[in-house]
Amino acid sequence: MEEPVKTARLFLCFVTFLGVTVPENPADAEELVRFESVPVKLSPFRIRKARELGEILPQPQGTPLLGYLSRPPGDGPFPAIVVMHGCDHLRSSVRELWPKRLVSWGYAVLVVDSFTTRNVKDPCRSHVPDRAFDAYGALNFLSQSGFVDVERVALMGFSAGGTTTLDATKTGGFEQLVERKFRAAIAYYPACDADRGDATVPSLILIGERDNWSRPERCQKRLARLSGDGPPIELNIYKGTYHGFDAPEFVMGKRVLGHIEKYDRDAAGKSIRAVYTFLRKHLGK
């Protein structure tokens, strides 16, 4: 195992947590649930202008959403994970494999479906609505479930969902608009914004060295610009791997819009162990 290079609170590593034994047991059956995204609040400027013009503004409404809820046996309260899919929607590793894995580790899991109720047909080519509010709507839903410890909920996303995860947990971002907060964030191959700045929670980014869709160098640039005062961000770059390296459905490799998606068993295993260790550290058992 290579030693991570540590600069202040920044960690860069290619091989991580090889000695961790990760349990894999079947999860309870999932449940289809319905909830709403957090409404986008009206800005003070918009409210002031409406008053000046004598307008009556309608109350902001959340977007109706679907989700797939899985939980361990027992009454809880359990730590939980909100999962955000990518622009390829609910592929099997996100909809089924990861929830089963996370439940076997003792976490309740809510996979958010951001597209079905919005009738989004081709999200990889078209505009996708601001999904950070979907993530916080899911957090609100879990907080009312009675079996989730709302103080121990992490946000986890894949590809475009990973980008949403970083956007939802950056300083000066969406988190300041909501009451309930996530405890940690995990982003698989997100499109990092080099100017995104500090995170509001401990974060783990996992990305392939050869990913030409979510380029690792942009994540490295973001981390290089951190203030050093925020929670730690760990960046794991897996040598020789592409977008979707954790997804067994891409074992034969696939080209999407000119980008390669390909499963890598070794990198997938290392990343799973990294996620397991990260969640144990920041959410507990």
Q: For residue range 100-138, what is the model confidence (pLDDT) as tens digits?
A: 999 999 999 999 999 999 888 776 776 666 899 999 999
What share of the chain has pLDDT > 90, as a percent?
58
CA atoms within 13 A on the CB side of 91: 16
What pLDDT score does 176 carry?
Answer: 76
5-9, 65-69, 223-227: which has the minimum mean pLDDT?
5-9
In this predicted structure, the answer to whether residue 70 has a pLDDT above a threshold of 90 is yes
Q: Are 154 and 187 in contact (CB under 8 A)?
A: no
Q: How many CA atoms lie within 13 A of 229 on its CB side?
A: 3
Segments forming the whole domain that contains residue 12 = 5-282
273 or 7, which is more confident: 273
Q: Are 35 and 137 in contact (CB under 8 A)?
A: yes
- The least confident of 34-38, 49-53, 90-94, 114-118 is 49-53
DSSP string, the chain: -PPPEEETTEEEESS--TT------PPPPPEEEEEEPPP-PPPHHHHHHHHHHT--PPPP-PPEEEEEEE--SSS-PEEEEEEE-BTTBS-HIIIIIHHHHHHHTT-EEEEEE-STTTT-S-TTTS----THHHHHHHHHHHHTSSSEEEEEEEEEEETHHHHHHHHHTBTTSGGGG-SS--SEEEEES----TT---BSS-EEEEEETT-SSS-HHHHHHHHHT--SSS--EEEEEETT--BTTT-GGGTT-EEETTEEE---HHHHHHHHHHHHHHHHHHT--
What value does the mean pLDDT take over residues 141-159? 96
What CATH number does the domain containing 242 carry?
3.40.50.1820
Asked whether the predicted pLDDT for residue 257 surpasses 80, the reply is no
Pair of tokens at residue 89: 């929607």
Is a pLDDT exceeding 50 seen at residue 10? no
What is the average pLDDT across 12-27?
45
Highest mean pLDDT (candidates 10-19, 77-86, 259-268): 77-86
The count of structural domains within the chain is 1
List the Cα angle 283/244/23 in 5-degree steps. 40
| Predicted local distance difference test score (pLDDT) of residue 57 | 52
pLDDT of 32 reads 93
Nearest-angstrom CA–CA distance, 111 and 157? 10
The encoded tokens of residue 73 equal: 């046996």
**187-217 pLDDT per residue, tens:** 999 999 877 779 999 999 999 999 998 899 9
Average pLDDT over residues 224-252: 92
118 close to 250: Cβ distance less than 8 angstroms = no
Contacts of 247 (CB under 8 A, 6+ apart): 91, 93, 94, 261, 263, 268
pLDDT of res. 44 = 53
Q: Say yes or no to pLDDT of 253 above 80.
A: no
| C-alpha to C-alpha distance for 156 and 169, rounded to whole angstroms | 11
> Quick one: pLDDT band at residue 146, thresholds 50, 70, 90?
very high
Interatomic CA distance for residues 181 and 140, integer angstroms: 9
